[in-house]
Amino acid sequence: MTQQNVVASKTKSRMNRDKTVAKKPPAAPGYIPIPSRVLKNLENNGGQRISAWVDSMRASSPTRVKSTSSLAEEHSSWILRHPSALDMFEQIMDASKGKQIVMFLDYDGTLSPIVDDPDRAFMSDSMRKTVRKLASCFPTAIVTGRCRDKVYNFVRLAELYYAGSHGMDIQGPTGDSKYNKDKGDGVLFQPASEFLPMIDEVYHQLVEKMKSIPGARVENNKFCVSVHFRCVDEKKWSELAQQVRSVLKEYPKLRLNQGRKVLEIRPSIKWDKGKALEFLLESLGFANCNDVFPVYIGDDKTDEDAFKKLRDRGQGFGILVSKFPKVTTASYSLQEPNEASIIWLISLFHLFLFHRIMCIKLKHALFIYLYSFICFMQVMDFLQRLVDWKQVSLRLRPRSRV
């Protein structure tokens, strides 16, 4: 396959970077990242590799059986490297002063709870209201592995940017948005359009294969296929991996990725959530700007591409939503991944902008008041001088003789 140039334009020189994110943290003890080269080896080798593949599935979805003291020690160490975004919010906002904040949000596990049935990952009305307020203040995008149309039906906010299928299907706002002048229904970018027939074939084959595995669900996310094994007995994981591999080996132009209790088959192109973030920043006119402050909030392994992109840019930061320590390139964390905490964090951004606007208005009003006061004093001084001049004139006027 001819290598596609999926990035609209590449930055040829590095801009002056603001030191707003922490250094890359060391790996948290007890958690082993799964390098992409390992997954590739698992795809290309035979049945003897299935057990290793299952091991990688366990590693990406670990069971927590550690002692309380061990977990506490590990958690404390992790928090030092990835402090709470709520606790550090004031410092975060200090770093964003004078810059345009741009918000990027994952969907599953961030805006909606993780559920057994992916078709029932509904967004609450309170969360929708919060995201709507956020979008009225900052350019806001949802970047998800889901099919773009499906996540739009969950969210139902036309003023947002949507990047579905891990950024392989991007659409701008179709409703009123002060950040998008070209309102319409047009798709901004689809770098993997040629793979659609292939993805559809794989989806139908996997649906048939998974019928023999209780609890397995296959989801067509347009530019990728997701095989959910959250409800599959761990004893069946080996069979599931074998069935997925039997299909994948017939499609060398597709590759495997792993998330939390999910295997994802997607096109072998250099495109991910990090590339989608970069493309959206460029679409908004911030490709080579020093005064932009991107914020990405996500909870899964696929969000790491976006976290790493922000770290490489030296701008903004990533927030990992996770109750447990994980290897991550995010600068901050949200350790209570419940709806109330996420709503509160997003609301803080809205309140921060409101406070910033009020301060600007107050300064403007104070300036007008001071300017008016100075003008008033100048007028009074002029009138006083005029009165004094008239009095002097009257004294100097010669008196008429009778």
Q: How far is CA 250 from the centre of its chain?
A: 34
106 part of the active site: yes
Residues present in the chain in total: 402
Give 171's contacts (C-beta < 8 A, 6+ positions apart). Answer: 148, 161, 162, 186, 187, 188
In 10 A of CB 384, how many CB atoms?
A: 10
Tell me whether strands 140-143 and 292-298 are parallel, antiparallel or unpaired. Answer: unpaired
C-alpha to C-alpha distance for 170 and 188, rounded to whole angstroms: 5
C-alpha to C-alpha distance for 53 and 50, rounded to whole angstroms: 5
Q: How far is CA 376 from the centre of its chain?
A: 51
Q: Which of 106, 108, 303, 305 is catalytic?
A: 106
C-alpha to C-alpha distance for 306 and 318, rounded to whole angstroms: 8
Where would I find the beta strands (DSSP E) of 192-246? 217-220, 225-228
C-alpha to C-alpha distance for 119 and 294, rounded to whole angstroms: 30
For CA atoms 75, 78, 79, 85, the dihedral sign is: negative
Query: Residue 61 class from Cβ within 10 Å (0-12 exposed, 13-18 middle, 19+ buried)?
Result: middle
Task: Print the SS3 string covering 41-110.
Answer: HHHHCCHHHHHHHHHHHHHHCCCCCCCHHHHHHHHHHHHHHCCECCCCHHHHHHHCCCCEEEEEECCECC
Q: What residues act catalytically?
A: 106
